[in-house]
Chain A
């Protein structure tokens, strides 16, 4: 269903996160990741943060990772980002 929504958004040329609530993450340089429409944190330590998204998990690896802010929809992580992986 979500995939169909994403496909429809793609066809209509409108942002998918606005139509379906798909997770959007914005990486600024190597120091900051802003995640919108997340589903919560699964694991959190200084080197790895695992975030639950719609249908997959996002692994953010780095050094000295810090959770700077979080609410129901958005989350801000800072630190030295090494990789972002989909699981």
Chain B
């Protein structure tokens, strides 16, 4: 920046020769003349840089007390503008670029969306488009508050969002709405039913009437604690059954894998295509647009021109690298695959038991011509009761 500033103002390299060239330095310091890059060339000669507009003041010391001041070179300032006067095309191009850059920074060329997990970027950009914030929109004419309100009204999934429009970029920060948990009314009546089949090992009832006993075998859907309370002395009454039922359960889970798998192997054939992107239009610059074959990897890199966080232009380069591959069939490493499948099955069992205890787990491996099967048989103790209200809602 300092170099540009000096170039714009115009600088001169001068030599000062005489019995005491330091007197010119003192003169400059006394009169507020800026100088830099002072280098002594000999006992009676120093070189230094000054601004072009200070040259007349410095040259006024020429010839006084035997001092000789010579201009060695000059850069920038009037020299530059004089040279530029003859280059009409250059001036016109630079001016046009400046105007285009200034004008383009007033239009939206990029969308940055952050903070969304469930809602896709595309959905948010579509919502923005519906509110008038689209590719190439003139952003100073857009009210972000109105855009925000309209998006919030139309999308119930969004709890809050902010839209910042600046430097050709629409930066959207989204806070998604957290779903309310379903609240079950405990004023109604409900039963506790079995979510899995098993043998009951423990029952504790807080509300309702026991429908099974310890040691009973229950199947999925059986009522464990009933919400209908019977009494010999009073009429039946409906309550919201509460309690826990623990049971011994059994699982058998299988996992299969083929004995041979296909893997990609790179071929030497590859191709690179370069295209220019202007707005939404793509212009091919180089490369063959035909596909090599069906089996190829395509990597696309998009680079938009601009300065990060300052402005972005609607112009960019797309580089597409297409690399052909072939598939080779290989046999799997059985021991490693079995270990991996055992771990996967155990994790799956842990998920199914959900806080219960795995009492026993046994694995068996079987193999035919094409597939390898690992089976996990286990015995667990877990909570099997779930609330089932009379309207059919379960929790």
Contact = CB atoms under 8 A, between A and B. Distances in A.
Interface of A: 40-46, 66-67, 69-72, 75
Interface of B: 20-23, 25-26, 28-30, 32, 35-36, 38-40, 43, 46
A71 B32 contact: yes
A44 B46 contact: yes
Contacts of A75: 29
B36 to A, nearest CB: 8
Contact of B25 (A41, A45, A46): A41
B22 A42 contact: yes
Contact of B40 (A42, A46, A71): A46
Nearest to B39: A66
A43 B32 contact: no
B16 to A, nearest CB: 11
A45 B40 contact: yes
B29 A45 contact: no
Nearest to A65: B40
28 contacts: A40-B22, A40-B23, A40-B25, A40-B29, A40-B30, A41-B26, A42-B20, A42-B22, A43-B22, A44-B21, A44-B22, A44-B25, A44-B38, A44-B40, A45-B40, A45-B43, A46-B40, A66-B38, A67-B25, A70-B25, A70-B28, A70-B29, A71-B29, A71-B32, A72-B29, A72-B30, A72-B32, A75-B29
B32 A67 contact: no
Contacts of A46: 40
A1 B221 CA distance: 110
Contacts of B20: 42
Contact of A67 (B23, B30, B38): B38
A60 to B, nearest CB: 13
Contacts of B46: 44
Contacts of B38: 44, 66-67
Contacts of A45: 40, 43
B288 to A, nearest CB: 59
